[in-house]
Structure 1
Amino acid sequence: MAKIDIRLDAELVVEVMVLAGVGNPQDAVELVVRDYIARGHRTEARVAGQDEARREADARPQDPQG
């Protein structure tokens, strides 16, 4: 996997390290990025499931009213 170098504010990285419980700055930031990506995938899956349920409900024939 290709690697890149970025610069971040030291206070921001220290806070991430404390919250993640990790002693290595690179590992802490990587955990945050991986969690953000996983959260996005879970959200996409949840929204897709809701959309599918709505489509199925719309496709069912409606009972006559009145």
Structure 2
Amino acid sequence: MAKVTVSLDAELVVEAMVLAGVGSPQDAVELIVRDYVERGHRTEARVATRDEALHRADLKPRDVEG
């Protein structure tokens, strides 16, 4: 996998290390980015499921009132 080098503010990286509970700046940033991406995928899956349910509800024939 290709690697990318990014410069970040030292205080931000230290905060990321504390939140991630790791001693390596590289590991901390990688863990946080992976978590962010995974959350995005879970959100997309929930929205897709909700949209499918709404779509199915729209496809049901409606009772005619009369």
Q: Which amino acid aligns with 2:57?
A: A
Q: Structure 1 length as normaliser, TM-score?
A: 0.96
Task: Determine the C-alpha separation between the residues in 1 that align with 2:65 and 2:32.
Answer: 53
Q: Which runs of 5+ in 2 are unaligned?
A: none
Q: Which runs of 5+ in 1 are unaligned?
A: none
The question of 1:9 aligning with 2:3 is answered no
**Map 1:45-64 → 2, pairs under 5 A:** 45-64=45-64
Task: Determine the C-alpha separation between the residues in 1 that align with 2:22 and 2:46.
Answer: 30
Residue 29 of structure 1 corresponds to 29
Q: CA deviation at 1:4?
A: 1.2
Number of aligned positions between the proteins: 66
Q: What fraction of aligned residue pairs are identical, expressed as a percent?
A: 71
Q: Which amino acid aligns with 1:24?
A: S
Q: CA deviation at 1:64?
A: 1.4
Q: Structure 2 length as normaliser, TM-score?
A: 0.96
Task: Determine the C-alpha separation between the residues in 1 that align with 2:20 and 2:32.
Answer: 8
Runs (4 or more) in structure 1 with deviation over 4 Å come to none
